[in-house]
Amino acid sequence: MDPNQYNPQPDPYTTPYSPAPQPARPVPNPDMYQPPQPYGTPTNQNPYAAPQPQQPQPQYGPPQPSYGTAQPQSQPNSNPYATPVTQPGMTQQGPIQQVQSPMMGYNPYPYPEEFTPRKRGPNKLLFGIITVVVIVGATFGVLALQNKDNNNGDTPNDQTPTNTTNNNASKDVIPRTDGKLDLSSKITTSKTLKQQSIQGNMKEQVNLSSGFSFMATTVADYAPTSSSTVAATGKRFIVITVVAGNRADSGNLSVSYLDFRLRGEGDSLIAGNAATNEITGNALSSPAELKSGEQLTGKIVFEVGDKESTWVLQHTETYQKTTDNTTFEVRGEIGLVLTHTTSTDTTTQTTDTTTQ
């Protein structure tokens, strides 16, 4: 059988399918279109009824600002499916309300006004740091001045001989145990020269305002080497070892045995004896010039009474004032005690010219 010629017959037991008739959809009338009603408005109104005039709604709260003449919400013959167009400043429900943004009025400095950058005072932290630096600097400056090495014999940099007793070299009287003067404390005689009288003892350095310093280290009986040198009846010779130096900051000082006197019993002053010149190489037998910081050691021979054992070695300088031509004295005295009964020392005494 040709399949193309096959014509099936309807099944007598099957009802042919036909869709049920649908009611005609009403065509909306554009003239009767109403926009969507606000929430809560009854919706059971006849959509085909003629539009009713709307009643004015009561206003609650403050009056709203007006933004011009209200426009009808719909126009005749307009597209019912178009999105309603609103005027500037208006929404579908009414005029636009101004809403305050959460960023409006934001204060980037949430602190009291006195701490804002505009009104904040000087930086207290910086001021405190500067104050601490100034205080620390001043403290170290004061300590540096107090510890300044003035080369007075109390510091390691002092090049003067070490003394067993720690003393200030600027004092008028300084104990010495090494047989040398401490001339490290220089003075300006134009400022320090004055009338003065200082007393010291053996092995004590006496500092005068003229810059001259001296001390006596030993006292002993002296037997002359020349047969022509003979002491008077009831007299004998003694020899004193003297150290002299110049602690003036400038200028030379001249010194010899004639610059010293010996005061014995009855307060009589005794000059040095010519027997002083017998001692070979004696630095004090003739005048010697002492530069600033120089010192020398020499011997002086005196003729004293047989019974005497204590004396006072004296050095006196006389000055005249230029203002009124008056004179004044600068005097230093050293109390002496006989330390040796006999001395025939004629050894050479060298001059110590080491600058202190």
pLDDT at res. 244:
97
- Cβ atoms of 176 and 200 closer than 8 Å: no
CA 61 to chain centroid, in Å, comes to 73
To the nearest 10°, report the CA torsion of 216, 217, 223, 227: -50
Mean pLDDT to the nearest integer, 206-225? 95
- What the block records as the tokens of 123 is 């930086």
pLDDT at res. 110:
54
* pLDDT over 80 (residue 174): yes
Q: How confident is the model at residue 128 (pLDDT cuts 50, 70, 90)?
A: confident
Q: Which of 210, 281, 272, 217 is nearest to 247 (CA)?
A: 210
Q: Which of 194, 208, 247, 206 is nearest to 335 (CA)?
A: 206
Q: What is the DSSP string of 26-73?
A: PPPPGGG--PPPPTT----S-TTSPPPPPPPPPP-SSPPPP-SPPPPS
pLDDT at res. 217:
96
Q: Map residue 244 onto helix, strand or coil.
A: strand
- Cβ atoms of 92 and 98 closer than 8 Å: no
Question: Rounded distance, CA 320 to CA 2, Å?
Answer: 173
- At 35-53, the pLDDT tens digits run 555 555 555 556 566 666 6
- Who contacts 92 (Cβ-Cβ below 8 Å, separation ≥6)? 84, 86
pLDDT at res. 350:
43
* pLDDT over 50 (residue 256): yes
* pLDDT over 80 (residue 158): no
Say what the pTM is: 0.52
Mean pLDDT to the nearest integer, 253-272? 93
- At 288-330, the pLDDT tens digits run 999 999 999 999 999 999 999 999 999 999 999 988 889 999 9
Give the mean pLDDT of the chain. 75
Question: Which fold, 173-337?
Answer: Immunoglobulin-like (2.60.40)
pLDDT at res. 184:
94
Residue type, 318: T
pLDDT at res. 93:
54
Mean pLDDT to the nearest integer, 105-109? 54
Q: How confident is the model at residue 150 (pLDDT cuts 50, 70, 90)?
A: very low
- At 279-295, the pLDDT tens digits run 999 999 999 999 999 99
Highest mean pLDDT: which of 45-49, 150-154, 222-226?
A: 222-226
Domain limits, the chain:
113-146, 173-337
Query: What percent of the chain lies above the pLDDT cut of 70?
Result: 53
Q: What angle do CA 299, 270, 209 make, to 5 degrees?
A: 70
pLDDT at res. 243:
97
